[in-house]
A and B are shown apart, each in its own frame.
With several copies, the nearest count.
Chain A
Amino acid sequence: MKLILNEEQQMLKDSAKDFAENRTPVNHFRSLRDDNDPQNWDKEVWKEMVELGWSGILIPEEFGGSDFGLAGISVIMQEIGKTLTPSPLLATAVLGASAINTFGTQEQKAEYLPKIASGEITTALAVDEESHHAPSNTLTKAELVGDEWVINGKKKFVVDGSSADVLIVLARTSGVKGENAGLTLFILNANQEGVEVIKTDMADCRNYANIVFDNVSLAKKALLGDQESGGEAIDKILDEGRIALSAEMLGNSEAAFEMTLNYLKERKQFGVLIGTFQALQHRAAEMFVEIELTKSAVMAAMQGADENNNDLQRMASLAKSIAGETLYLVSNESVQMHGGIGVTDEYDIGFYMKRARVAEVIFGGANFHQERYANLSNF
């Protein structure tokens, strides 16, 4: 495995960079926020992303995608992460596409994948039920009543949950809280009777929802993957999501760091540029090193995933944990180095801090992934 981008990936990255810089600079995010956009992302922008082929990157060509792999979508996530570009890319093009393509029946693939690729639908993955990510703690129940599955429960913190047309839900068909066995995935339309989607406003102004399932009846074919195989499936889907999210977080770090470096080079105090202060120089150098380490971890995870590296779980946990810790460091240092204006809403740097903490929680924080990495490594 080479830890460099191939030509295809480099082209995707360049194209995403160009799009983010020109079409969706941070002001795009700011204006959606200021307008209290109910969806938190712009339909026109999403349409353009779809036209660039981004929604189909994890989708095979026969279903209208380009099959460029996780590395392909991750480099895009990294670039749009730099400008905090709001879009349903993570939930739809990564989680939804990967889940359906990997675990769906031929029929399900034919039904959903072309619609994802064409931008006709967006999706969301409903996993968490507690304040901390823990798929095995799922309590949402799916019971077979006659010919139908009946789902009851409440999911929370569902990324892009309030705008999604189609939901993929992790539910318990047997076993008890804490067990991975007995979990099953279902796919359904968000407007299904009994589904109540409650949009929640989190600190980073991404789209999130809590979702209540009140006696939601589903046909048998709503099963995504085999019954009781959801524990393993969700792990695979989540790991792809974690890697793509890590790439986005890396982009967040890179952008915040660059803004801060620029500030150090232009802001004067006591008659000199503050970038001449050695204490700040060394802290900047340390951030640089951490970002370099993060780049390597993300790169290895995304390239490894596409080469079916059998170390996917550990690599995903490494990437998510390190990306989270680096972004924590960089977002804090960036605000501090900006001084007073760093804590004003008028200035963009604070957006990265808010995004940092919310992204940290999505699909497990550093704690979760350190524990997982340690277990997988026999520490």
Chain B
Amino acid sequence: MEHLESFRAEVKEWLEENCPPSMRTGAKVDASSATDEVWGGRNAVYKNPESKLWLDRMGAKGWTMPTVAKEYGGGGLSKEETKILNEELWSIGAKQALLSFGIWMLAPALLEYASEEQKRLHIPRIIKGEIRWCQGYSEPGSGSDLASLSTKAEDMGDHYLVNGQKVWTSYADQADWIFALVRTGPQEPKHTGISFLLIDMATEGVSTKPITLISGKSPFCETFFDNVKVPKENLVGEVNAGWTIAKALLQHERNFISNFGLAGAASGGGNDVVTLAKKHFGEEDGKIANGIFRSDVTTHKMKEHAFGLTLKRAGDEGGKASAVASMFKYYGTEHNKKRHEMMIAAMGSNGVAWDGDEYDQEEKDLTKAWLRTKGNSIEGGTSEVQLNVISKRVLGLPS
């Protein structure tokens, strides 16, 4: 305990000295619209120089991935120490130094599946935010059947020759490297002919094209590989054994998305359905003036309450079963869609505004946010896939 107390003091002191003032705004990061997010990478542009400073300092300490061993550039902290670090960051309202698919997805996979050499090469660069990664899984036509992918990597002796196309690659147009699933065993059964490959996007033959969604511009891209030469040392794990790594990563993504349902609910503020309903329908005796809508809001909020408690219970139980993740992914995204439907319904015509000066920016943003939620129950495994997983893996129903 004494050690932890002194560690807390050290952290406090370090933060006091090193966290720049403008990085202590306490602002939450809103992944959909924030403009001064820091994603790092070769081409990063820092509107605020202090955010670069903050990244460099945190990166140097390895505190962007505090539990990773120091030999890979991490913080080398214990769980307890990490908890303290997070508490102290929280208490000064520190901004997140680095948003990164490298941190969230690739690094954990590399730690488990990569060679020692690969770990020493890639993980420190992720932690320092030097290299920005994107994920290349989905392909046109593959949909829920991810393993049907057909981007091929031919073994040319000293390198792989990659040809094909990925879709739904987030921020591919701004990323430096991509971790991709490729078909190396065209004759193998579909799950066993897949490998996990790291590709520098500066390589000749790689190109990207942004995808416009129903909600407007998006971070998603199509990514094309046209005779791209990839060094053989960029293969992670065994050849044709990439599906195992992919599954582990997908699970991670699913957990990540399932929190959507509550993200906004927890943040409160102007986007709460109750606030919006009172504003647009009016209040009577402190109640939403439209009785039918109030009734809908109530059942919705009660479900939200119970879902929040379920997330907490799963945490308290320490359960990490993939089936539970499927439940959260399913319910969280469906709930989030419903939540946005209720918000725009509460707003009447103001809830369907798109452009121009007659409506507030917040209103127009919400219209687009509503449309964006429609993807939540598709990306990272559709709701239908999650229900399949629950019925088969949790409930043991026969195939």
Chain A residues near B (Cβ < 8 Å): 2-4, 128, 130-133, 156-157, 198-205, 210, 261, 264-265, 267, 269-271, 273, 275-282, 284-286, 288-289, 292-297, 299-300, 318, 321-322, 328, 332, 335-336, 339-340, 342-346, 350, 353-354, 357-358, 360-361, 365, 367, 370-371, 373-375, 377-379
Contacts and interface: CB of A to CB of B under 8 A. Distances in A.
A288 B390 contact: yes
Interface residues of B, number: 82
A273 B398 contact: yes
B167 interface: yes
A201 B384 CA distance: 35
A281 B393 CA distance: 11
Contact of A374 (B287, B310, B383, B387): B287
B264 interface: no
B264 to A, nearest CB: 17
Contact of A279 (B302, B375, B387): B387
12 contacts: A131-B347, A265-B396, A270-B144, A280-B384, A282-B387, A288-B390, A292-B310, A297-B306, A318-B302, A322-B302, A344-B214, A371-B292
B384 A379 contact: no
B144 A284 contact: no
Contacts of B386: 285
Interface centre among B213, B352, B394 (most CB of A within 10 A): B352
Interface string B286-325: 1110111111011101110111011011001100000000
Contacts of B384: 277, 279-280, 282
Across the A-B interface, the 9 shortest Cβ-Cβ residue pairs: A350-B214, A131-B348, A281-B391, A201-B355, A3-B313, A296-B309, A285-B390, A132-B348, A345-B212
A339 B146 CA distance: 13
Nearest to A365: B345
A370 B354 contact: no
Interface string B272-297: 00100000110000111011111101
A229 to B, nearest CB: 26
A265 B396 CA distance: 8
Nearest to B344: A357
Nearest to A266: B398
A379 B274 contact: yes
Given A270-B144, A336-B378, A339-B378, 10 more contacts: A200-B353, A201-B354, A270-B148, A277-B384, A279-B387, A340-B168, A343-B378, A344-B211, A357-B344, A370-B295
Nearest to B353: A202
B240 interface: no
B374 interface: yes
B143 interface: yes
Interface in B353-376: 353-356, 358-359, 367, 370-371, 374-375
Nearest to A326: B306
Interface string B235-249: 000000000000000
A340 B378 contact: yes
Contact of A202 (B291, B349, B371, B394): B349
Contacts of B388: 278, 281-282, 285
Contacts of B145: 269-271
Interface centre among A278, A322, A379 (most CB of B within 10 A): A379
Nearest to B138: A340
A131 B351 contact: yes
A252 to B, nearest CB: 15
A24 B125 CA distance: 54
Nearest to A272: B398
A157 B399 CA distance: 47
Contacts of A265: 396-398
B350 interface: yes
Contacts of A370: 292, 295, 298-299, 302
Contacts of A293: 303, 306-307, 309-310, 331
Contact of A295 (B143, B298, B313, B352): B313
Contact of B316 (A4, A130, A322, A361): A4
B352 to A, nearest CB: 5
B383 A284 contact: no
Contacts of B143: 267, 269, 339-340
B336 interface: no
B395 interface: yes
A285 B352 contact: no
Given A131-B351, A273-B398, A280-B384, A289 B358 contact: no
Contacts of A344: 211-214
B395 A285 contact: yes
A342 B351 contact: no
Contacts of B377: 336
A40 to B, nearest CB: 12
Contact of B397 (A261, A342, A365): A261
B70 interface: no
B198 interface: no
Contacts of B398: 265, 273, 275-276
B327 interface: yes
Nearest to A204: B352
B255 to A, nearest CB: 16
A80 B398 CA distance: 29
B67 interface: no
A345 B352 CA distance: 17
A292 B327 contact: yes
A247 to B, nearest CB: 15
Nearest to B290: A367
